[in-house]
Structure 1
Amino acid sequence: MPVEQLESFLNNPAMREALSVVFERSNRGSEELQWADVEDALSSGQWGRLIETGVLVSGGTGFTFANPERVEQTLAEHGHLSGTTGGGVEIESESWAWYDKAAGVAALALFTGYWNTGIRDLIASFDNIILAPITNTLPFYAVVIILAIVTGLYSTVLQSQLMDHEKIRAYQERINELKERKEAAKERGDDEALEQIQEEQMESAGDQLGMFKLQFRPMVWIMLITIPVFLWLRWKVRGGHLGVSETGLVVPLAGAVSWQEPLLGPMSTWIVWYFLCSMASRQIIQKTFNIQTSATSSS
């Protein structure tokens, strides 16, 4: 029985489910099965393919796996045996450390500066002490570019270092696996399998929360610097702290626009300019240093 044949079955949700069902009902390959033992869960075509490809061979009174050890190993490696996930590894729940929680509280406190003028002015005044030497030397649009590069580098590195990509990938694979199994069970009209899969989905409902906690952890630390920078920019533009010559930008199609003038819908020019610079710098940094900031499937 070629390993390639097993791999092709695992890449097909319907055949993957069929193989798993037959393996479990044969007591992990130790007992012979007849068509009547699995006709409630498999189609005759699926049963026939398992026999034609040599995965199942004729025994004394029924059919058995030609190489149950290889089948079990292959299913376990791909996380398709009951009680296993992506590679058979149990995903441990994520718990934030005390400093992560402290950073979250600090980020929420900074966030109130968007509505509270006193907090915003306090944060911006402190930032201005640090940024004054730069603003006194460079034009405002160049200062925005520098801030976008700094925050882009900071956020890209933090997102790469603090996010557990392997664990997020395992969560995604388990969720996708349940969805594929559910679709396969619907296609063959297997109500019993559907009920079991729905129970598994209920049990794994914490996966979504686990993924959210993993993905939000670096965001908390990123906000500790991006919120003060954004509040300073808002204070600088809307508070009348720009120089006389700092009127705005010349934008393609729009022409000369002031920093406070709406440029993209209700968003002012300074907001659009900052976000464009920030997104561009993040892309350049990721490409230049080959930094991964999102989990990608290993399949």
Structure 2
Amino acid sequence: MSGLWTLTDKLVASLAFLLATGYAVAPVRELVVAGVGGLLAPLSVWLPFSALIVVLGGASGVTSALARAVVRDGDRAEQARDRVEQLRDRITEADGDVDPAVQEEISSEMFTALAENLRPAAYSAAVSVPAFIWLRWAFAAPAAAVAPAAVVLPVVGTVAWSAAVIGPVKLWLVWYLGASLSTGALARRGLARLGLS
């Protein structure tokens, strides 16, 4: 990826990887929790906790849409995919007699397409990983008393944030993913209208 990613891309990917170690490494997790908690402190005064989850999910969704529109070189990825298809057609026509240079070019073009698709993922992860780590901590650290135990939902009534919705999937995770996916879709639609995607 050295020729495909800029220095900024590599730094952001390294940061995202370092932050992701917070899932398993306690000192990193504590730094992430303190940092995100510090950023959310002013919001927590004015917003209910359910809205904080929406803000975190929304930030992840918008970052993902923006990174995909701004960072990803869609033309380069599409050209790489088209070239792979052309080369595969040549292999099919060659009836199994594959030139090693063609195989190498296929690998190179597939790598180019993969690298272009991973670039926005690195930027998105730099936002979503800390948000997710903080939320996991907020619901798993009752001693901290950060998250309320339950939320009142229309029709359903009072439901614990830690209640399983489907299998091991908890209500707070569904809430976060819903906010992330919906705001990401709205952001992509808005960027498309502006001609940026």
TM-score range, shorter chain: 0.7 to 0.9
Q: CA deviation at 1:273?
A: 1.0
User: Is contact 1:113–1:120 with CA below 8 Å preserved after alignment?
Assistant: yes
TM-score (norm. length: structure 1):
0.57
2:123 counterpart residue number = 221
SS for the counterpart of 2:5 is: coil
User: Is contact 1:158–1:221 with CA below 8 Å preserved after alignment?
Assistant: yes
Rounded to whole Å, the distance in 2 between the matches of 1:239 and 1:96 is: 38
Rounded to whole Å, the distance in 1 between the matches of 2:42 and 2:188 is: 29
Match of 2:153 among 235, 250, 261: 250
Q: CA deviation at 1:230?
A: 1.2
Q: Which runs of 5+ in 2 are unaligned?
A: none
User: Is contact 1:159–1:293 with CA below 8 Å preserved after alignment?
Assistant: no
Distance 1:119 1:249, change over 3 A: farther
Rounded to whole Å, the distance in 2 between the matches of 1:245 and 1:221 is: 30
SS for the counterpart of 1:263 is: strand
Q: CA deviation at 1:113?
A: 0.7
Higher helix share: 2
Q: CA deviation at 1:112?
A: 0.9
2:37 counterpart residue number = 128
Q: Which runs of 5+ in 1 are unaligned?
A: 1-92, 295-299
User: Is contact 2:58–2:184 with CA below 8 Å preserved after alignment?
Assistant: yes
Distance 1:243 1:141, change over 3 A: same
Is 1:271 the counterpart of 2:173? The answer is yes
Is 1:288 the counterpart of 2:190? The answer is yes
Is 1:96 the counterpart of 2:5? The answer is yes
Amino acid at match of 1:101: K
Match of 2:23 among 94, 114, 124: 114
SS for the counterpart of 1:290 is: helix
Q: C-alpha root-mean-square deviation of aligned residues, in Å?
A: 2.8
SS for the counterpart of 2:47 is: coil
Is 1:148 the counterpart of 2:91? The answer is no
Distance 1:212 1:244, change over 3 A: closer
Q: CA deviation at 1:223?
A: 1.6
Rounded to whole Å, the distance in 1 between the matches of 2:21 and 2:106 is: 35
Distance 1:245 1:178, change over 3 A: closer
Structure number with higher relative contact order (C-alpha < 8 Å, ≥ 6 residues apart):
2
Rounded to whole Å, the distance in 1 between the matches of 2:80 and 2:87 is: 11
User: Is contact 1:121–1:235 with CA below 8 Å preserved after alignment?
Assistant: no
Amino acid at match of 2:103: Q
Q: CA deviation at 1:203?
A: 3.3
The one-character-per-residue Cα deviations of 1:156-205 (angstroms, maximum 9, x if unpaired) are 1112111111110001111122334455x3xxxx63xx425775234321
2:86 counterpart residue number = 177
Larger-gyration structure (1/2): 1
Amino acid at match of 1:162: V
1:165 counterpart residue number = 74
1:78 counterpart residue number = none
Match of 1:204 among 106, 120, 140: 106
